[in-house]
């Protein structure tokens, strides 16, 4: 069907009002707004956000394809009034958004799990997004499909927005760790070595890792430093966590053979951040969700002929073993932002990794990625 025929069909089949009548010229503009249902002419980002904001169908509702009442996060009995911040972002009303931020929760989710930051990124409303980030809007939060604002920014392809979200994500992650640090140190101090070490020893290979604990200080000695071409590269490394030291000095890595050490810190240079953005913009976007809706637990059994419940001693405790059933891992992947060259390069990288190759030896270079818009 040609473009002229499509435009003719759209003129002849206008969306319907809730009562069943055709929309007039003035009503068509209202239908394209958050409170309406129809309307075309969206960009790719707008079309995606409009679909996310569309209201679920209500049985017994009024006429045709207009789907009236579909505002931001609309659902039966909940209109734009219940999501005022979402509505401001949808309309791009920065002035009203600035006033609402002081009194409304900016982390609220609509019926599709989208926060105001999700909508700002999907619609390409940069001013709204930067305003939300300035007020510390949560970045590490997923919608109903498991996508975070950063994932949506990568899909949209705005390099400046990706950089801003990445920096805010790291800042919020550090703040979250620092907030939990006193409780974690207290719990670590209360756990004795006889309780912690036997549990970790069952997970880590005994010939490669040794763990030592004193108070809130932990030391991990390992002889395994690399694994390439299906071969282990041996060495002598020590990872030390000093709970009494400042956060910026609490992690130290020792190379006992080379007689050198390195502190692990979170400060990054501008070049490192730009390289990370390049990698994000040239890689697939993944979302992993662990569904526990149908999960069940059953006692593990032991024995061939005479079955009995399995129990083993872990440290000073006699532990019962259970089997976990019905655990579902949902993995989603998006690549609409990638070029054919990116897809082929990523495929070559995955093939190299599956064969036990080392990326450092393959000379894979990450090119500078420009914004798609």
- pTM of this structure: 0.65
Between 289 and 57, name the one with better pLDDT: 289
Nearest to 219 by CA among 205, 204, 200, 239: 239
pLDDT at 263: 85
* C-alpha distances in Å from residue 308, one per residue of 62, 152, 320, 323: 62, 51, 11, 14
- Tell me the CB-side half-sphere exposure of residue 162, using CA atoms within 13 A: 26
pLDDT score at 119: 94
Mean model confidence pLDDT for the chain: 76
Give the pLDDT of residue 139. Answer: 94
Question: How far does CA 11 lie from the centroid of its chain?
Answer: 41
- Confidence class of residue 40 from pLDDT cuts 50, 70 and 90? very low
The residues that bridge with 221 in the sheet, in sequence order, are: 210, 238
Q: What is the pLDDT of residues 155-209, one digit of tens each?
A: 998 899 999 999 999 999 989 988 998 998 888 888 776 666 666 666 666 667 8
Dump pLDDT digits (tens) for 213-260. 888 888 888 887 776 666 667 888 999 998 888 877 888 999 988 899
- Sorted by sequence, the CB contacts under 8 Å of residue 238 that are 6+ apart come out as 219, 220, 221, 222, 253, 254, 256
| β strands within the chain, DSSP E | 209-214, 217-228, 231-242, 251-255, 260-263, 285-291, 296-299, 301-302, 308-309, 311-314, 317-320, 322-325, 328-334
The pLDDT assigned to 194 comes to: 66
Q: Which domains can be identified in the chain, with CATH numbers?
A: 3-138 (1.25.40.20), 206-263 (no CATH), 270-362 (no CATH)
Q: What is the pLDDT of residue 70?
A: 44
């Amino acid at each position: 069907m040609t473009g002229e025929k499509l435009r003719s069909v759209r003129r002849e089949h206008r969306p319907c009002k809730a009562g069943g009548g055709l929309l007039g010229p003035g009503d068509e503009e209202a239908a394209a707004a958050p409170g309406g249902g129809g309307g075309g002419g969206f960009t790719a980002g707008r079309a995606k956000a409009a679909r996310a904001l569309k209201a679920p169908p209500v049985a017994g509702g009024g006429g045709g394809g207009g789907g009236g009442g579909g505002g931001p996060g609309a659902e039966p009995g909940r209109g734009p009034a219940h999501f005022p911040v979402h509505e401001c972002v949808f309309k791009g009303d920065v002035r009203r958004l600035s006033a609402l931020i002081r009194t409304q929760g900016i982390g609220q989710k609509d019926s599709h799990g989208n926060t105001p930051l999700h909508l700002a990124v999907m619609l390409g409303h940069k001013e709204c997004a930067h305003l939300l980030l300035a007020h510390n809007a949560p970045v590490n939060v997923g919608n109903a499909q498991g996508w975070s604002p950063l994932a949506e920014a990568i899909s949209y392809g705005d390099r400046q927005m990706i950089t801003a979200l990445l920096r805010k994500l790291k800042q919020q992650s550090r703040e979250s760790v620092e907030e939990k640090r006193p409780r974690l140190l207290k719990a670590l101090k209360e756990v004795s070595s006889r309780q912690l070490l036997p549990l970790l020893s069952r997970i880590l290979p005994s010939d490669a890792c040794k763990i030592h604990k004193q108070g809130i200080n932990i030391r991990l000695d390992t002889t395994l430093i690399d694994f390439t071409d299906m071969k282990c590269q041996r060495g002598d490394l020590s990872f030390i966590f000093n709970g009494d030291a400042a956060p910026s000095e609490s992690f130290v890595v020792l190379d006992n053979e080379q007689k050198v050490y390195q502190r692990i810190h979170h400060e990054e240079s501008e070049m490192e951040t730009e390289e990370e953005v390049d990698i994000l913009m040239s890689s697939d976007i993944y979302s992993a969700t662990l569904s526990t809706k149908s999960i069940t637990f059953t006692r593990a059994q032991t024995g061939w002929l005479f079955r009995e419940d399995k129990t083993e001693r872990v440290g000073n405790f006699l532990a019962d073993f259970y089997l976990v059933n019905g655990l579902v891992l949902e993995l989603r992947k998006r690549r609409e932002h990638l070029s054919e060259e990116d897809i082929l390069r990523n495929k070559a990288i995955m093939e190299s990794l599956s064969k036990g190759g080392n990326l450092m030896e393959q000379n894979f270079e990450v090119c500078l990625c420009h914004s798609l818009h």
